[in-house]
Amino acid sequence: MRELKQITVIGLGLLGGSVGLSVLRAFRAVKLVGYSHRPSTRQKARQLAVASEISDCLRESVVNADMVILATPISTFEQILTEISDWLPKGCIVTDVGSTKALPHKWAQKILPKDVHYVGSHPIAGSEQRGVEFSRDDLFEGAKCVVTNNAKTDVEAKKRVSDFWKRLGCSMIEMSPAEHDRIFAKVSHLPHLTAASLINANDIETLKFSGRGMIDTTRIASGPENVWSDIVMANSANLAKGIEKIINELERVKRAIEKKDKKSIEEFLAKARIKRAAMMNYKIENKELES
């Protein structure tokens, strides 16, 4: 496998830019090349110095890369992999920061040459903000990061990718792409859809009365729709199932409300409070959150 001398980040939004800044901070000896298909983004990225070098050409950006990180919306992965496939050096590692992992694995396996190694990554970091101007060199500090692999994944490549994210401050978890997508449908993609539903069910005159609760509950609905529609499309089966589960919960509490069954309502709310407390305690004990 190749020594890590050049890393190329394709896509310079909040995540790609933050990978750039974090690499520049954590890997002093590595050359960090950035690419975005938008000239205006390349210009901003140059001004903000999120990379050692911003390339104007996708293929040129990868010809000397020891590691390539895709940080564009998931729907672009297939085409980007196709475009760069013949230009990747032997032994190069390709990874990504996409929020779903089954499709990226499928595309990588179909498109990439045998002597290039693909490992999936999903750093659990970000915000509802978008754009290279929100990049931070500490975005991954203290974050969880999932690496995904299948039976064909090169063990050494997986270790390299894992070590890479650790160096940026992440704590690592390994799982299969399918397990990843099942879990993150539930704890990330589904909350996004319920947040959007809460907003869409109301008119703006009503929303003016929102307090801190409604504001926090719907924060993620401010995320960019092009990124999120890709995620939803790429995880459609898990999400259709997940929506059904949420509807079942809502139907259950609606029945209790209609029957004026206070005991069931209180049990429903108590169950959520207790389970959420367990979740928060786990997060605090794991130092993922401040207590």
- Binders of its own copies among residues 115 to 154 (CB under 8 A) are 124-125, 127, 144
Nearer to its own copies, 156 or 216 (CB): 216
Angle at the Cα of 45 from the Cα atoms of 42 and 50, rounded to 5 degrees: 140
Cβ 289 to its own copies, closest distance in Å?
8
Binding of its own copies by 57 (CB under 8 A): no
Q: In this complex, which beta carbon is closest to its own copies, that of residue 81 or of residue 193? A: 193
The residue to which tokens 């199932």 are assigned: 241
For CA atoms 288, 11, 153, 3, give the dihedral sign.
Answer: negative
Q: Is 38 in the site for its own copies (CB under 8 A)?
A: no
Residues 227-256 that bind its own copies (CB under 8 A): 228-229, 232-233, 236, 239-240, 242-251, 253-254
CA–CA distance, 266 with 260 (Å, rounded to integer): 11
CB of 1 to its own copies, least distance (A): 29
Chain positions 156 to 195 lying near its own copies, rule: CB under 8 A, are: 173, 183-184, 186-188, 190-195
Closest to 124 in 3D by CA, of 103, 104, 146, 109: 146
Q: Is 47 in the site for its own copies (CB under 8 A)?
A: no
Among 3, 28, 208, 290, binds its own copies (CB under 8 A): 208
Q: Binding of its own copies at residue 79 (CB under 8 A)? A: no
**59 touching its own copies, by CB under 8 A:** no
Q: How far is the CB of 120 from its own copies (least distance, A)?
A: 15
Among 86, 114, 155, 200, binds its own copies (CB under 8 A): 200
Q: Which residues pair with 32 in a beta bridge?
A: 7
